[in-house]
Amino acid sequence: MKKNYVSNAEDSIKLFKNNFFDSLSKVHFTVPLYIFIPTILFFCYQAFTYNLSILIFGGYFLAGLLVWTITEYLLHRFIFHYYPSSSIGKQLHFIFHGVHHDYPRDKKRLVMPPSASIPLASLFYFLFSLLLAQPLLFAFFPGFLLGYLMYDMMHYAMHHHNFKNPLLKKIKQHHMLHHYEDSSKGYGVSSSLWDIILQSNFTRESNKNK
């Protein structure tokens, strides 16, 4: 996508004329922690009520984390960066993701608001329940949610903090290239793993220029 406008303003623009609907489109970055940490702990507790072994629990928990990474990549690449041709489609795209590219430092639109994250989490829970029996689902799903929570927190930090850790600096650089150089590459936010595997990573020259 060719970038026509980027603002470094940290304040939120108004997406909806109705104040209530506009409030649903933004959130303080700590809110997902209050919602999903208790949810993760609840599912972990439920898993252990079935007397799952630590080995089985840990394996499915890590599988949930891994599945989140590919889910994050696919959502970002094929849903958030799908550009409709209709005027209504373009408006919807701007609401869901275009606003973030135009206002990448908007403090209240860097993590997913509960109006979107809770329905999406419920949808994924239903889909996974079709594939996994409850004891295994209760081990797998909190890993998936933890992956999402790490993604949300890292995404906020990438836009508002300077990392000293070399690995985190590299992850941030990857995401900044997506915003400021080429938004058709670098769809992984918390990891560049799937960009490397699916050949949507940046060239070495791009990384050298940053």
When the pLDDT of each residue in the chain is averaged and rounded to a whole number, the result is 90
pLDDT score of 4 more than 70: no
For residue 142, which of 120, 121, 156 has the smallest C-alpha distance? 121
Q: Which residue has the higher pLDDT, 207 or 103?
A: 103
Cβ pair 65, 144 in contact under 8 A: yes
Q: What is the pLDDT of residues 132-185, one digit of tens each?
A: 999 999 999 999 999 999 999 999 999 998 989 999 999 999 999 999 899 999
pLDDT level of residue 1 (50, 70, 90 thresholds)? very low
| 79 pLDDT more than 80 | yes
Global pTM reads 0.91
Integer Cα distance of 158 and 139 in angstroms: 29
What secondary structure does DSSP assign to 29-58, as a single string?
Answer: TTHHHHHHHHHHHHHHHHHHHTT--HHHHH
pLDDT reading at 206 higher than 80: no
> DSSP states of 66-93 as a string?
HHHHHHHHHIIIIIIT---SSHHHHHHH
**Residue 184 near residue 191, CB atoms below 8 Å:** no
Instruction: Inform me whether the pLDDT recorded for 3 exceeds 80.
Output: no
Residue spans per domain, the chain: 19-163
Distance CA 160, CA 10 (A): 9
The helix (H) or strand (E) run that includes residue 207 is helix 204-208
Mean pLDDT within 7-23: 82
Do 191 and 158 form a contact (C-beta atoms < 8 A)?
Answer: no
**pLDDT at position 207:** 56
In angstroms, the CA 125 to CA 195 distance is 25
* Cβ-based neighbour number of residue 67 at 10 Å: 17
The predicted pLDDT at position 5 comes to 64
